[in-house]
Chains A and B, each alone.
Chain A
Amino acid sequence: MNLYEIIFYAFAVVTVGSACVVVFSKNIIYSAFALLFTFFGVAGLYVLLNADFLAVTQLLIYVGGILVLLLFGVMLTSNVVSINVKSGSLHILAAVIAVALLAGSLSGIIVMTDWFVTKSTGEITLQTTSKEIGTALISTHVLPFEIASVILLVAVVGAAMMARRERSKTNV
């Protein structure tokens, strides 16, 4: 068992364990903070998958942006009195059966399929990918890049407008 496998299993345990805490915790604050560790674990898996730029992007955007947004949402919308009641669950038995079927069939498919793998899987090739990604963003992927920028602009304008209109209405 070499270092790569030890690191992989460590990140796998962190990811799956904290994801279980996210899903099964009754307190939504605990869920939000466990999501932090899930994102960290996924970023570690990205590094193991030879994607250093994406790992840093994951940390910046998910942990720095999306998780803070989610925490703002939790703090702004949960009544302190009834926080345990509000984050309850429904249809537990049917959901457990459906999700177990889904996970079982997915795992069966993944294990039984003979995947097409080109590289020899044991070798660890560490190379920086940011230069290739930058080149691809302005050459072969320039149209999705521009569309993504427009989508981000629309999202920012839409979110700001939705949040501001309601506030001015309540103030007046």
Chain B
Amino acid sequence: MEITLTHFLLISAVLFSLGVFAVITRRNAIMVLMGIELILNSANINFLAFSRYGGMNIEGQMAAIFVIILAAAEAAVALAIVLNIYKRFNTVNVDEISILKD
């Protein structure tokens, strides 16, 4: 059986679902960030798969490069925010940090 576009899209869908599961179930903020990284990776696989099998070799790769750049920036800022939250609340549980609600 030949490897087609569908194979790559299925792997990407599995990665996306696992990332969404991590984001909505885990309490630790760092685990939520890991789920977001999984989602971004699955989006990148989709970009590259469509760009290879769709005949536009370079356009999808450019989009994937910018996704990687934004992921790096997002990880740096999010980790700084998480560290600040930990210093202030002494926890990184995302469901305990709710003082804006009170």
Contact = CB atoms under 8 A, between A and B. Distances in A.
Interface of A: 1, 4-5, 8, 12, 15-16, 19-20, 22-23, 28, 31-32, 35, 38-39, 42, 45-46, 48-51, 53-54, 57-58, 61-62, 65-66, 69-70, 72-74, 76-78, 86-92, 95-96, 98-99, 102-103, 106-107, 110-111, 115-119, 121-122, 129, 132-133, 136-137, 141, 144, 148, 151-152, 154-156, 158-160, 162-163, 166, 170
Contacts of A77: 29-30, 82-83, 86, 92
Contacts of B54: 116-118
Contact of B2 (A23, A110, A122, A133): A122
Nearest to A55: B48
Nearest to B73: A155
B71 to A, nearest CB: 7
B41 to A, nearest CB: 5
Given A45-B45, A49-B48, A73 B31 contact: no
A127 B77 CA distance: 36
Interface of B: 1-11, 13-22, 24-31, 33-35, 37-38, 41, 44-45, 48-49, 51-55, 57-58, 61-62, 64-66, 68-77, 79-84, 86-88, 91-93, 95
Contacts of B72: 61, 65-66, 152, 155
Contact of A38 (B24, B41, B71, B92): B41
Given A46-B48, A136-B58, A90 B18 contact: no
A72 B79 contact: yes
Majority DSSP secondary structure for residues of B touching A: helix
A19 to B, nearest CB: 5
Given A38-B38, A98-B24, A73 B33 contact: yes
Given A51-B61, A156-B76, A166-B87, A19 B93 contact: no
A119 B5 CA distance: 11
